[in-house]
Chain A
Amino acid sequence: MDLSIYHLLNGRLYRTFQTAEAHFYDAFDTKVSVDERAEIEFESQSDAGTFLIFRRRTGTRPKEPPDAKATAKRSCAAWRWNPAQFRFVTEPTANARTLCASQSLTRSRLQ
């Protein structure tokens, strides 16, 4: 499932963010199936800006042998609203780590 965010400016609609929220890949010519799910959180900090925090879980299951165990990886990234570019841009890794590690009461899930 793809998620796009749009905002209106001066009578025109601009895409400000795009990502895959859920993705399942199981092509016949691959040795694994991949199941990716993401949770996106939104946080607006009056001093530091507006962020999207993107938590992704990627599950991978080998097709052989039939009882092969699935493995899962988790990752997190952040985007910051850039008012000049009028879109969300990738936040540098260091601050993204801080945002990913923190739990804020003002944060909400993007549903």
Chain B
Amino acid sequence: MVTPKPVVKPEPARCVSADPLRICQLLLSTSTPDRLRGHGLLGKQLDRDMGSPEVLYRSVNLDADDESESILVISDGRTSAAYVFDRQSGAWWIVGEFGYSWHWHAEQAERFITLKPLVSDGMDILVRVQEGGTNV
């Protein structure tokens, strides 16, 4: 068994003060203050309510341990954002976040985040985004 020593830096990580399911519930709430609080917990301080977004919550095992991680994918019809959560020492951390807004398209947004078991131990996360240039 090879001990991995990654040669690339990991994605930035930050602790969040609520679990991902609670954040999902807040974002889907009919209450504007709740929705704003949900966005705030994700680090987005919105100055006005953008309405109810479409939120996809997935609990999935991404690594070797037995505990499941969570993924939230949030779309508002113009942009999509995805957050990968991992629970460590009793606290939830956002260990990866991705955005898709350049030439946002609903059909493409469905392929923004996909999961596949490519290498051992858990699932791989495939992220597809448009990076500048012309529209393909």
Contact = CB atoms under 8 A, between A and B. Distances in A.
Interface of A: 1-16, 21-26, 35, 42, 44, 50, 81, 83-87, 110-111
Given A7-B62, A8-B62, A12-B13, A86 B129 contact: no
Interface residues of B, number: 39
B2 A24 contact: no
A44 B116 CA distance: 13
A26 B120 CA distance: 40
Nearest to A81: B119
B66 to A, nearest CB: 13
Given A11-B95, A85-B7, A86-B4, A5 B125 contact: yes
Majority-rule SS of A interface residues: strand
Given A3-B126, A8-B63, A81-B119, A13 B8 contact: no
A3 B127 contact: yes
Given A5-B124, A22-B136, A42-B116, A12 B11 contact: yes
Nearest to B13: A12
A8 B95 contact: yes
